[in-house]
Amino acid sequence: MRSALLLVVVATALGCGSKDVEPATNGSNAAREEAQFDAERRPDLIVTALGVKPGSRVADIGAGSGLLTVHLARAVAPNGKVIATDTNKEVLGMLERRLTRAGLANVVEGRAVDPDKPGLEAGQYDAILLSEVDHFFTDPVQWLKDVEPALKPGGRIVIANRIHHRAQAMDAAQKAGLVLQSETSPVPTNYIAVFVVKGAK
């Protein structure tokens, strides 16, 4: 078992790592923050890679304060659902406030989860997104194996991260029985990899 200290470190990293931070309270500051995020991370291309549409059900793993979750919610609205998970309940509060301001709170469910467990129900998800989070897992291979049953038939797992984490992610995905379907580089520092479960139809 990991020590309590390691659990706290991982939880903090997943909740408040490189993903995003407390949404600005000032409207113009929030707009600048979101514009910068959109330019640096290209969430539009991540949404495209997920292949989601109105009515889809998608999981945003390690969602943080919701800078990316907002884009997912818009893509699946009005009758779809985003399950936004994080290990940090406080950061999920930030996410809820962001989504409320965007008028999308009814599309998103924030969910607190254990750092090493997906916390997703079986057979319910068209796509599962891991954006700048998979390198924090204690055992990435086991985590990916645990999350596979949550996919609907034909569902996708999309990993988006910095290039220097790519080799670890590709190795873990292969060992977990995932097949690389496509890969793009939206900006020079990042990649987006789309996986399906081996043998899935």
Domain ranges of the chain: 16-197
Instruction: Quote the percentage of the chain above a pLDDT of 70.
Output: 84
Tens of pLDDT, residue by residue over 103-143, are: 999 999 999 999 999 999 999 999 999 999 999 999 999 99
Mean pLDDT score, 171-183 = 97
Distance in angstroms between the alpha carbons of the first and the last residue of the chain = 37
Cβ burial of 26 (10 Å; 0-12, 13-18, 19+) is: exposed
Over the chain, what is the mean pLDDT? 86
Query: What token pair was written down for 11?
Result: 């939880």
The pTM is what? 0.84
Four-way CATH pick for 16-197: 3.40.640.10, 3.30.70.890, 3.40.50.720, 3.40.50.150: 3.40.50.150
- The pLDDT, as a whole number, for residue 49 is 92
Query: What token pair was written down for 71?
Result: 């884009």
Q: How many CB atoms are closer than 10 A to CB 5?
A: 8
44: helix, strand or coil: helix
